[in-house]
Amino acid sequence: MGMITRKTRQKDIIEKEIESMKNLFNGDDLFLKVKEKKIGKATVYRFLKNLRDKGKIHTYSCDRRMIYSKEKKSHCHFICEKCGKMQHFDVKKVDFIPKSIKGRMDHFQLNVTGICENC
Ligand SMILES: [Zn+2]
Ligand SMILES: [Zn+2]
């Protein structure tokens, strides 16, 4: 099997797995799914970076890690300043961006800090 064939096959396998991801996922989630098909971690991360550069996948930062999404959506955290507990929430509508900002809004990330109910 030539190098090009092998690369193409790996690409197909990874693409298929990304297709099956329903929510946000990280590189390790994806790697675990393709691991048994002899695809290395570096290949998985390189592939994700490539998709990101092409704008085919969206990235957010979650707990100092990069997470990915196929869809354009929001990624919001409520972080307790006392215990550090982090909770996720969704914001469907963006109505806090001033009218002076023109253009198409695609996706956004929010970090809200405060004190959780247990603290
Ligand atoms: Zn997160
Ligand atoms: Zn707390």
pLDDT tens for each residue of 54-83: 988 988 999 888 999 888 778 899 999 999
* Ligand of minimum distance to the alpha carbon of 26: 1
Alpha carbon 113 to its chain's center? 21
Ligand nearest to the CA of 61: 1
2 CA distance to ligand 1 middle (Å):
40
Q: How many CA atoms lie within 13 A of 54 on its CB side?
A: 9
Interval between CA 80 and ligand 1 midpoint (Å): 14
Distance 19 CA to ligand 2 centre (A): 36
Q: Do 9 and 59 fall within a single domain?
A: yes
Residues 82-100 pLDDT 10s: 999 999 998 877 788 888 9
- 16 and 46 in a single domain? The answer is yes
pLDDT band at 108 (very low <50, low <70, confident <90, very high): confident
Lowest mean pLDDT among 7-11, 17-21, 63-67: 7-11
Neighbours of 30 (CB within 10 A): 21
H/E stretch holding 68 reads strand 65-69
Number of domains in the chain: 2
pTM: 0.72
Ligand nearest the Cα atom of residue 75: 1
Determine the structural domain holding residue 105 and report its residue range: 74-114
